[in-house]
Structure 1
């Protein structure tokens, strides 16, 4: 049973460019422009009319955009919940400009050890993460650590938790790695390892969407009975100012927005493609977290109930539930 038919989230790609070369991501390989502030202003107005509540300014590396603070301010002042995930290389320089504009600020960290983290990211950024935590805390911000979990770094969770999360009073977000296209994320986690993640997610200061775990145990999305509601819960906007459907990672079509996102979103051609969400051949077995999370939130099924406790826990801690009810 669907609890909501309006989109919840906008994944707004400010650029595909990145100053890192992560081994588990192919976005940085794409040539890309930067979104314009004028397009953002227009699209935010339409996103508000469409019922979107959360704007995730993403990339690439979103802090490469010189006007990212202005875009965050626009969205935040319009009542959207804003999120931003960064490799932290540029955060110390931009921290003052970003202060108070990001509701959910995530610093990516995938290892307790500098050499391993930097190797996976293809650039020396571990020290920037540590510095960014210090800078953000000094400014009164409440950053989170986003830890992408693979088989090869699962054993490092304890060390990160004990040496960084608890002493700094941060939240550790567990992000199980997902496969898409030809990106190599290594061997999949076993059921025993998934159970370990579930137990780890129950700790104080740790957030894990248990729906992600259940979906992996179930073999991912199945086209015959799709869990995914990517196209109806999430609006994806590209740096070229195009609407991408049914999702970024498996997107098959892009439509120029041309200052009229609301009308485009409900156009017959887009409506037809939205109905294929979770049903395309590439959707079989999909576990892409950024689309499954909003999908779980709108459909009253077992994934909804699995995801609910951790979602309530995180939003309560961040205080964002107040803005959702406003």
Structure 2
């Protein structure tokens, strides 16, 4: 049973450029412009008309855009729940300007040791994460630590939790790594390792969408009976001001927005392509978290019920449910 039939999330790519060189990501390899304020203003108005609740300003590294605080502030003032994830290299510089404008502020950290984390990210950013935590707390912000889990860093979860997130009263978000296109993320987690994550996710101050675990045990999305609702729950806007369908990672087509996002998204051409969500050949076995999270929230099935407890736990902890009530 479908509960919500309009998009709820916008992944707004401010640029594909990045000042890190993560081994598990290829976005930084793409040439890219930067989004423009006039486009953002018009697109946010159309996103509200379409029913979107959450705007995730992403990249690349979103803090490379010198106007990022203006974009986030505008969305926040319009009543959207705002999210932003950063490698922290630039956060201390932008922290004051971002203050109070980001509802879900995520700092990426994938290891408990500086050398290991920096090697995986391709730049020396571990110390910047620790400094960003200090700066954010001084400003009264409540960042989360986003930990992308691979087989090789599984053991680091406990150390990061014990030595970094708990002493600083931060939420630890467990983000199981996913594969897409030709990006290699190493050996997939075994069922025993997935069970370990499930148990870890029940700890105080830890967020793990349990449906992510079940989906991986089920072999990901299956095109014969897709669970992915990427295009009908999530709008993806590129740095070139294009609507990307059915999703960024497996995008088949790009449509210039030209100030008409609402008209474009509701057009027959776009909706026919959106109807192929989860059914394209490359969708078989997909476990991409950024599209599965909203997919699990709009349709009642086993994944909906598995995702619900952790979603309620996180939103209660962060207080974002209050923002939802004022929309």
Equivalent residue, structure 2, for 1:249: 249
Distance in structure 1 (CA, Å) of the matches to 2:266 and 2:97: 36
1:237 paired with 2:237, answer yes
Distance in structure 2 (CA, Å) of the matches to 1:132 and 1:210: 29
Distance in structure 2 (CA, Å) of the matches to 1:269 and 1:325: 34
Distance in structure 2 (CA, Å) of the matches to 1:8 and 1:266: 14
- Trace 1:128-167 onto structure 2 (pairs within 5 A): 128-167=128-167
Equivalent residue, structure 1, for 2:187: 187
Q: What is the CA deviation profile of residues 158-215 of structure 1, one whole-angstrom value per residue up to 9, with x for unaligned ones? A: 1111101111110000000000000000000000000000000000000000000000
- Trace 1:100-115 onto structure 2 (pairs within 5 A): 100-115=100-115
Task: Compute the displacement of 1:322 (Å).
Answer: 1.1
SS in 2 for 1:187: coil
Equivalent residue, structure 2, for 1:273: 273
SS in 2 for 1:198: helix
Equivalent residue, structure 2, for 1:123: 123
Distance in structure 1 (CA, Å) of the matches to 2:47 and 2:133: 31
Equivalent residue, structure 2, for 1:216: 216
Equivalent residue, structure 2, for 1:14: 14
Equivalent residue, structure 1, for 2:30: 30
Q: What is the CA deviation profile of residues 276-320 of structure 1, one whole-angstrom value per residue up to 9, with x for unaligned ones? A: 000000000000000000000001000000000000000001110
Distance in structure 2 (CA, Å) of the matches to 1:216 and 1:41: 38
Task: Compute the displacement of 1:87 (Å).
Answer: 0.1
Q: What is the CA deviation profile of residues 68-127 of structure 1, one whole-angstrom value per residue up to 9, with x for unaligned ones? A: 000001000000000000000000011000000000000000000000000000000000
Distance in structure 2 (CA, Å) of the matches to 1:320 and 1:171: 14
Equivalent residue, structure 2, for 1:74: 74
1:318 paired with 2:318, answer yes
Task: Compute the displacement of 1:219 (Å).
Answer: 0.2
Distance in structure 2 (CA, Å) of the matches to 1:261 and 1:160: 41
Q: What is the CA deviation profile of residues 45-77 of structure 1, one whole-angstrom value per residue up to 9, with x for unaligned ones? A: 000000000000000000000000000010000
Distance in structure 2 (CA, Å) of the matches to 1:187 and 1:84: 28
Unmatched 5+ residue regions in structure 2?
none
Unmatched 5+ residue regions in structure 1?
none
Equivalent residue, structure 1, for 2:41: 41
Task: Compute the displacement of 1:324 (Å).
Answer: 1.3
Task: Compute the displacement of 1:325 (Å).
Answer: 2.1
1:60 paired with 2:50, answer no
Task: Compute the displacement of 1:323 (Å).
Answer: 1.2
Distance in structure 2 (CA, Å) of the matches to 1:323 and 1:128: 30
Q: What is the CA deviation profile of residues 126-165 of structure 1, one whole-angstrom value per residue up to 9, with x for unaligned ones? A: 0000000000000000000000000000011111111011
Equivalent residue, structure 2, for 1:287: 287
Distance in structure 2 (CA, Å) of the matches to 1:221 and 1:166: 34
Distance in structure 2 (CA, Å) of the matches to 1:167 and 1:44: 37
Which aligned segments of 4 or more residues in structure 1 are displaced greater than 6 angstroms?
none
Q: CA RMSD in A?
A: 0.4
SS in 2 for 1:204: coil
Distance in structure 2 (CA, Å) of the matches to 1:105 and 1:77: 16
